[in-house]
Amino acid sequence: MTLVLGAIADDFTGATDLANNLVRAGMRCVQVLGVPDASVEPSDVDAVVVALKSRSTPAKEAVVESLSALEWLQAHGARQIFFKYCSTFDSTEAGNIGPVADALLERLASGQTVMVPAFPVNGRTVYQGHLFVGDRLLNESGMEHHPLNPMTDADLVRFLGHQTPHPVGLASRHVLSQGAGATRGHLDALAERGVRHVICDTLDEQDLDVLAEAVVDTPLVTGGSGLGQALPEQYRRRGWLEPVADPGRLARATGSALVLSGSCSRATLSQVKHFLEHHPGISLDPLALAEGDEHLAQAQAFAREHLAAGGPVLVYASADPERVKAAQAALGVARAGELVEHAMGQLASRLVAEGVGRLVVAGGETSGAVVSALRVRELRIGGQIDPGVPWTQSPMIDRDGVLSLALKSGNFGAEDFFIRAFEVLDALSAGESRA
């Protein structure tokens, strides 16, 4: 089977976000977790999104994994490659976006790629190369407190310049406003001057359409999921896609309802607060996790009791910046994160074994830890809960039935997300397959 699009996502929620937009724009798409074996054949799909957990790993590891994903996607004929990173450009100065993009370009023998992080429906826009979250610059949006990759510079041309030895350029709104032809011409002119990475301004969906038309024939595109919502129309115009009746249909969801939250992003903190006003929840503290198994056992017992009473129930490590900093000062940044992620993975596998069948996970790294612990290999994408977050399903590993999973990016979703997600799932599995 020849793929139209092969995507490599640097975290699991980001992969789901992109897959969601591709499905909503009419592509048949599957999300695989990790690089599949060479023998795995994608069938009846136009796109595969390979979800990696490479956002916060050392750059060399991220490059090796991304190239291995590329090899698999190329072996299945992908016409275009999409490197998906966060709409808030999450990475450290020594981080992975530049090195991975450079390595992919080299392997694809291509001289240039666009960088389009914007996702306007979720308030991520780029103007004069500066990334905004709503009406705030990235570095004043709360992202400056991110536990793993605090974002302290909104100027993406400058920031990416720290991550690549190659020149970084800009396609400004002024250029985009002249249409796809002018934008293509601008990119070509930059390429002639050796500009390898082009940060693209994007204010709205129309800008995404212009960009998609300008780059549909380039071997590599990079960005957030916004570009993924615009590319399928360009593929259709080229006759590469068949019409699909309902690419987001899900099976009936069963089992009890659990929320695991390891995200400390602003949106998640308000979702945790809102959930706790209506349903039971228990917090996990990395300092207590470091002392032994007792703390995790208590959380598990609490969740089990409330799941038996009907659920939904929440287990959360989500904490405000001061508490996160205190844990990191005592344990180190990596160790604090690992303790929480390990605990979330353990809870997920134990509680799913006991009957949880509907699971919401908040946070990309947290989602990576949870789906790895659950040994989930592939996700079918269903209807959307909020922009960027669909319900997905995977076969249960050790028994019959399906596990319904919603992997929520830290800053996505309305305040009532953790509660409404289960209502949306009920509606989806009652036969209304699109939210």
Which residues of this chain interact with ligand LCNOYBR7, rule CB under 6 A? 11, 13-14, 17, 86-88, 119, 224-225, 364, 388, 409
Q: How far is the CB of 242 from ligand ATP (least distance, A)?
A: 32
* Binding residues for ligand ATP restricted to 182-201, rule: CB under 6 A: none
Select from 3, 13, 48, 72 the one that contacts ligand ATP (CB under 6 A): 13
Q: How far is the CB of 355 from ligand ATP (least distance, A)?
A: 25
Which of 351, 92, 108, 388 lies closest to 229, judged by CA?
A: 388
Q: Give 3-state DSSP helix, strand, coil % of the chain, rounded to 5.
A: 40, 20, 35
CA distance linking residue 325 with residue 302, whole number of Å: 27
Give 187 or 317: the residue with its C-beta nearer to ligand ATP: 317
Q: Which two tokens stand for residue 235?
A: 């593929």
The per-residue b/e assignment along 66-82, b for 16 or more CB within 10 angstroms, e otherwise, is bbebbebbeebebbbbb
Query: Could you tell which of ligand LCNOYBR7, ligand ATP, none binds residue 219, using a CB distance below 5 to 8 A set by kind?
Result: none
Beta bridge partners of 82: 7, 221
* Binding residues for ligand ATP restricted to 237-296, rule: CB under 6 A: 262-265, 268, 286
Residues in the chain: 435
Binding mask 303-342 for ligand ATP (x = CB under 6 A): --------------xxx---xx--xx-------xx--xx-
Q: Give how many residues touch ligand ATP by CB under 6 A.
A: 29
CA distance linking residue 435 with residue 432, whole number of Å: 7
Q: Does residue 213 interact with ligand ATP by CB under 6 A? A: no
Q: How far is the CB of 412 from ligand LCNOYBR7 (least distance, A)?
A: 7
Q: How far is the CB of 259 from ligand ATP (least distance, A)?
A: 13
Q: How far is the CB of 309 from ligand LCNOYBR7 (least distance, A)?
A: 32
Q: How far is the CB of 124 from ligand LCNOYBR7 (least distance, A)?
A: 7
In this structure, the dihedral spanned by the alpha carbons of residues 133, 135, 139 and 141, taken in order and rounded to 10 degrees, is -70
- Dihedrals phi, psi of 277, to nearest 5 degrees: -75, -15
CA distance linking residue 32 with residue 371, whole number of Å: 11
CA atoms within 13 A on the CB side of 163: 27
Bridging pattern class, strands 80-84 and 389-395: unpaired
Query: Could you tell which of ligand LCNOYBR7, ligand ATP, none binds residue 336, using a CB distance below 5 to 8 A set by kind?
Result: ligand ATP
**Interface positions with ligand ATP (CB under 6 A):** 11, 13, 146-148, 262-265, 268, 286, 317-319, 323-324, 327-328, 336-337, 340-341, 363-366, 409-411
